[in-house]
Amino acid sequence: MREYLLTLCITAAVTYLLTGPVRKFAIVAGAMPEIRARDVHREPTPRLGGIAMFFGLCAGLLVADHLTNLSEVFENSNEPRALLSGAALIWLIGVLDDKFEIDALIKLGGQMIAAGVMVMQGLTILWLPIPGVGNVALTQWQSTLLTVALVVITINAVNFVDGLDGLAAGMVCIASAAFFMYAYRIWYSYGIEAAAPATLFAAILMGMCLGFLPHNMHPARIFMGDSGSMLIGLVLAAGAISVTGQIDPDAMNLFSGSERETVHQTVPVYIPLLLPLTIIAIPAADLVLAIVRRTWRGQSPFAADRGHLHHRLLEIGHSHSRAVLIMYFWSALIAFGALAYSVNSASMWIVLGVVALSFVGLVLLLLPRFTPRAPRWAEAFVPPRYRRRRPEEAVAVAPAASSAAYGAAADSAESADQRTPVAVGVSGVNGATALGARSRLLDRGKAQTSR
């Protein structure tokens, strides 16, 4: 565990320290697109944050290669090299898109090529555990098609959800944390070394997201762009493919004597990781809804719009920060709920807890203008908008507001006195004319009343 924590910290530190220089480079390079109709931010913000994240990935893999226990992952498996090859290719395509806005079909082709490169180097799904059937071996073509499809879907799911400050990085960090716990349990609890690469990938992915988040929280100083969103989506998919399609369920035969019953008992473990769409269910749902919505309108599925889930949260009244926190909440609920259910699927308390938290999430969705207040002892640790205002502070605010209004009125009067004589004369004539017209109207009203 200490080596994983060291790798995570090194990855986070490199990503954090490089993001500042990358931001300056993006400004100089002109990677600051104009604000589009679907954008939420109000000022042009540099992109290319994926550059720092990619170098954080490289630093994490380099450090892990020189550690005592983690170095065995590089000796016994080719998956880290496969990940680095696919990540370099998808990162290069993302950098070009952040700068030159390449066509969506070209990006899709690049995603498929990156997934194919990983498949050629051994990072692929070899078999699938099917409930009630057991292991189903896949042919080479089936394995390649399933792996490429899983990578492409995960990349685009993460890319579609990258619409608010800190949203994509935070949600992927939550998913990777749950994924790390699962893979670490498979490796050390069951002694299955095939889960070691996935555990390493999850630790590095957490470091990439944690290192970038301080620069990307609202108001963001830099965006990760497609170079970052497609990169973290690929790393997440690579970990899921590594742990799901290559670990033999018979090695986890702790529940029963036959492989078929073992697979049936471990369905809660495998299904959430067989399809990362369930561990990042919110981005996956957003992806499906976006494709259906755009196709129904006769648009391209890759055409951008303002119909994503985070846009809808803003439209019903949630603030930027609250919309992000709500998305965090639902992602954590689904990811860690699936993780807890995989550990003990027979416990009803887990199901009841998920249901109760889901109810809390629905209440938060229906109260967009509710502002929670922190208790007195925690006010020093929360932003000012969540603190309770004391009576003396309210009394002090009122005179300050009135004095500010008085100062503004005095400034406007002073500026009026400094106008040219012609302007004053014109304004005086206009004022006299208006007063005369008003007096004549009053006189007419009195005359009609007397009649």
Cα–Cα distances in angstroms (integers) from residue 155 to residues 59, 198, 226, 235, in the given order: 22, 17, 10, 9
pLDDT of 305 above 80: no
User: Where in 170-326 does DSSP place strands (E)?
Assistant: none
Q: Which of 147-161, 195-209, 379-393 has the lowest mean pLDDT?
A: 379-393
Asked whether residue 83 is domain-assigned, the answer is yes
Does some domain include residue 274? yes
69 assigned binding-site residue: no
- What's the pLDDT tens digit per position in 339-370? 777 776 666 777 788 788 878 877 776 666 55
Tell me, yes or no, whether 303 lies in a domain.
no
Of the spans 190-194, 334-338, 374-378, 391-395, which averages the highest pLDDT?
Answer: 334-338
Distance separating alpha carbons of residues 213 and 171, to the nearest angstrom: 11
291 and 432 co-located in one domain: no
The reply to whether 291 and 431 lie within a common domain is no
Coil, helix or strand at residue 47: coil
Which of 265, 295, 325 is at the close of a domain? 295
Among 295, 329, 364, identify where a domain stops: 295
Residue 371 domain flag: no
On whether residue 362 sits in a domain, the answer given is no
Tell me the average pLDDT across 213-240.
Answer: 90
Nearest to residue 116, comparing CAs of 227, 241, 203, 224?
241
Q: How many CB atoms sit inside 10 A of residue 124's CB?
A: 24
Tell me whether residue 86 is in a domain.
yes
Q: 248: helix, coil or strand?
A: coil
Please indicate, yes or no, if residue 26 is contained in any of the structural domains: yes
| pLDDT tens digits along 254-293 | 444 555 555 555 554 454 444 455 555 666 677 777 778 7
Any idea what DSSP says for residue 40? -
Provide the residue count of the chain: 451
Residue 65 in marked binding region: no
CA angle 88, 237, 217 (to 5 degrees): 80
* CA–CA distance, 283 with 216 (Å, rounded to integer): 18
pLDDT computed for residue 185 by the predictor: 81
429: domain range?
A: 425-451
Residue 162 falls inside a structural domain: yes
Residue type at position 312: R
Residues 150-186: pLDDT tens digits? 899 889 888 877 777 888 899 899 888 988 888 888 8
Q: Which two tokens stand for residue 392?
A: 């003396």
CB 173 within 8 A of CB 327: no
Q: Please give the tally of structural domains in the chain.
A: 2
The last residue of one of the domains, among 295, 315, 333, is 295
The widest CA-to-CA distance across the chain, in whole angstroms, is 109
Cα–Cα dist 80/134, whole Å: 28
